[in-house]
Every structure is written in C-alpha cells, then in structure tokens.
Chain A
Amino acid sequence: MSARAIKVTVNGVAYERSVEPRLLLADFLRHTLGLTGTHVGCEHGVCGACTVLVDGDSARSCLMFAVQADGARIETVESLGTIGQMNALQEAFHEHHALQCGFCTPGMLMTATDLMRKYPLASDDEIREGLSGNLCRCTGYEHIVRAVRAAVGRAKDAPS
C-alpha cells in the first residue's frame, strides 16, 4: 500500500507527486493538483463528467488510477481555453446555450474534442451516438448537439 512516485504532464505542466495506488486519477487532478474543472458524478464510468484526455485519447478519470498515469500526458478542460479566450468548441457551447448548471460540461467538451478527431460526425445521429455516454440533467441535449454540430462545421470551414 506504499505510496509511489509518479511524473505526469497535465495541460503542459510537468508534476512529480507521490500517490497511494488506490487514488483515482480524477481525485489526483482535483485534490492533489487543485484542477477542479474535471467533475466527478458517478465514479463508475456511466456519467462521463470526469472525462479527460490521456495521451490524446478520451478516458474516464474515475476508472484509472493516478499511478497508471506515470509518464503520461493528461489534458483536462482547463487546457481548452480561458474565459477571455475560449476555443472554438467552447465558443460554440456558449453561442448555442449548451450548458445550464455546467456540471456535465467539462466531460462534454473533452468527449467532443476526441469525437471530432476520430469520427466524421456527419449527421446529428452520429453526434448523439458519440455523446450518449455523457449525461446532462439540464439541457435536454438538443443544444449540446447543436453546439457540436456548429463546431464540426467550423472545423471543416477552417483553412487547414
């Protein structure tokens, strides 16, 4: 049960910390590093609120231990933008009213970020399918789908 030393890069910043093996990555981010943008809803993989990127791929941070992230590159919602300078996906969420209480939003944003890289998201059905692992109790999803659709459109229009 002895603590382990790990090195992780979170949002571009390198950290060295000592962690107990049972510490979940979500709790490491929130409590050890103070990055409270990552939310914790269910702790069993069902709600998606805790989704982060691990070496570029979305993952549930409640289903990984911090020790497993040794050597990894983690990105959380804090990496996307700031209030003054939101990224295109965040802008789209803002414009389309894709959040109310905001609890699900970090997970929605990190999930959509990975979805947009991996799938064409050509139809609303495909967007809904992609977001189906993220629960929102406020919006009824319609506005979130609209926001992602807008962000996909913008990414397509953007000069590459």
Chain B
Amino acid sequence: MKPVAFDYVLAESIDTTVAALAAAGGEAKILAGGQSLVPMLNFRLLRPAILVDINRIPDLAFIDERADHIAIGALTRHYRLETSPIIAEHFPVVAEAMRHVAHLAIRNRGTIGGSLSHADPAAELPMLALLLDATLHVVSPTGPRAIAAWDFFLGPLTVDLAADEMLTRVTIPKLPPVTGWSFVEVARRTGDFALAAVAVTLTLRDGLIGEARIAMTGIDETPKRADEAEALLAGRKLTADLIDAAIAAVRANVNPPTDLHASSDYRRHLIGVLTGRALADAWRRAGGEKP
C-alpha cells in the first residue's frame, strides 16, 4: 500500500524540529531512518499530517568519547554503531548486538534515536540502553530534559516522549575495568526481531562479582533488567549452582507473551537458557575462574 498524503518539512536544526512538532499540535511525526515509521505509513496504520525529516540536521550523528562517558547522537545509524572503534573498545556488547539488528540495508539507514523512540518490545537497542544505564537527552519546546533509560520505556511502542519532543542524544557511562560481557539472542531467522535475547555485564572485584547486570528483551511489554538475579549474583563467585539459581530467578520474574512465533512457556524456558549462557560467557571474558 501507499501512505496517505502528508506535508514534508525538511528540518534544519533541533529547534526548528521541535517548533514544527509543536505547531502541528500532535499531527506531526519525526522521520529519522524511516525503517519502522515508513512500513506503518505504507500500511496506513499511521496517518500523520506532517513528517519532519531530521536526516539533514548537522551534527546529529556522532559517537564521541568524553572523560567518563560516551555520547551518541540520535541520528547515528545502526551500521555506524556496529563498526565504530569507540563502541568496539568501550561497549563491545553493543557492537556484537548490532549484528542481530535487521539487515545491512536497514542498518545503513536505521538510527539509535529511532529505535529507542519506537521501542519495539523485541528490539535490541532499548535493552542495551537499560543494560548500560544510559541517559536519554530530549529537547522539548520548554527546553532540554534528561531521562534515565530505566524510566523511558513505558509499554510496547510507548515511551516517555511527548508529541512535540525530540530525542537528541544518548549518553552512556563507561564500564569499570575488569568487566566481562555477553549478548545472546534467538530469532527465527538472522536479522529478525528476537524471540528472546539476553545481555549481561559482570564486573569483577577481587575475583568475585562486584556488579552484575542482566537485561532482557522479547519477554515482556518493555525490555527489563533482572533485578532479583542481579542481586543474587553480587559478591559471589560464579558457580554452576549460582547460574541455576539466577536462571530460576529470571524465569520466575518474567511474563512473556504468546504469539504466532512462540508460546509464553517456550520464551520463559528460552530466557533461562540464554541467561545461563550469557553469564558463563561474561564471567569467562572477565577472566573469572572456570565455574
């Protein structure tokens, strides 16, 4: 199908984008990579009166290293995250995960800002934002505000962004030294949205787990952190028994959907298996003793 007619605004800056959104009173949508928005327009699931194209705003696509964090511009394409030396050095878990996001032609266009704002419940970047305690920087007509990833994802395709707000930048605190990581996913086909995926970081202190982070996607209305399992792991050495306990904690705390592709029970089983693999992987990468 073809989209309904709309007016097209080529935005020159963040301020003109926000002004155009505000003037449209909820009838306008930002067009970034278009890889989620245009399918919805083609199906006429969305009929915005105006599209505000942010693709030519200067200085909106960047990956910058600062003293204690990495800053990523909203228009940064998936392919750039996949191949950036800064990302490979500081967040190899992101580089690894990006290979699972769609296909090259889609990664060439899709943006981090678009993926986070769209918030598909099986997408990878929202779970990574949660895993890495990212902060999302938003500009609204009244000025800028910052939101923790933790507070941003409200439901399927629903985030804490008003119709006249624009996500401009994501900042991610650097990880402490001696941090191991892992990203594991099961999808029906390479590049498809995840049936379930788990991302882990384990930071070791004196040979024990100082901090464990576990993020999951595809298992609920929004991506989730596995709080209970994380707490269980802190201060311990990774052993086979501890992995089993973490798996049980994860399975007890998720409520996965049933759909055409997999049942709730299958996804719950899967999320446990993936958690076990990811923990062992991250522990090995951190240089921990064989569990």
The answer to whether A68 and B55 touch (CB under 8 A), given A22-B6, A114-B105, is: yes
In the complex, A81 Cα to B35 Cα: how many Å?
A: 29
Residues in B neighbouring A57, C-beta threshold 8 A? 79, 105, 108-109
Contact residues of B: prevailing secondary structure: loop
Contact of B105 among A27, A48, A129 (CB under 8 A): A48
Does B39 interact with chain A (Cβ within 8 Å)? Answer: yes
Does A39 interact with chain B (Cβ within 8 Å)? Answer: no
How many interface residues does B have (CB within 8 Å)?
A: 32
In the complex, A51 Cα to B3 Cα: how many Å?
A: 19
In the complex, A60 Cα to B42 Cα: how many Å?
A: 13
The answer to whether A60 and B8 touch (CB under 8 A), given A68-B53, A132-B190, is: no
Q: Contact: B8 with A63, CB < 8 Å?
A: no
In the complex, A58 Cα to B38 Cα: how many Å?
A: 17
Q: Select from chain A the residue with minimum beta-carbon distance to B55.
A: A68
Residues in A neighbouring B38, C-beta threshold 8 A? 24, 44-45, 62-65
CB distance from B75 to the nearest CB of A (A): 13
CB distance from B27 to the nearest CB of A (A): 13
- Residue in A1, A62, A65 with the greatest tally of chain B CB atoms within 10 Å: A65
CB distance from B215 to the nearest CB of A (A): 24
Q: Contact: A115 with B104, CB < 8 Å?
A: yes
Against A, the Cβ 8 Å flags (1 = close, 0 = not) of B3-16 are 11111101000000
Q: Which of B1-60 contact A (CB under 8 A)?
A: 1-8, 10, 31, 34-35, 38-39, 41-43, 51, 53, 55
In the complex, A43 Cα to B103 Cα: how many Å?
A: 16
In the complex, A129 Cα to B39 Cα: how many Å?
A: 23
Q: Select from chain B the residue with minimum beta-carbon distance to A56.
A: B108
Q: Contact: A21 with B7, CB < 8 Å?
A: yes
CB distance from A6 to the nearest CB of B (A): 11
Contact of A44 among B6, B39, B190 (CB under 8 A): B39
Does B189 interact with chain A (Cβ within 8 Å)? Answer: yes
17 contacts between A and B (CB under 8 A): A1-B6, A1-B7, A21-B8, A24-B38, A44-B42, A45-B106, A57-B79, A57-B109, A63-B35, A63-B38, A64-B34, A68-B34, A68-B53, A68-B55, A111-B105, A118-B79, A129-B99
The residues of A with any CB-CB pair to B shorter than 8 Å are 1-2, 4, 20-22, 24, 27, 43-45, 48, 51, 54, 57-60, 62-65, 67-68, 111, 114-115, 118, 128-130, 132-134
The residues of B with any CB-CB pair to A shorter than 8 Å are 1-8, 10, 31, 34-35, 38-39, 41-43, 51, 53, 55, 79, 99, 102-106, 108-109, 189-191
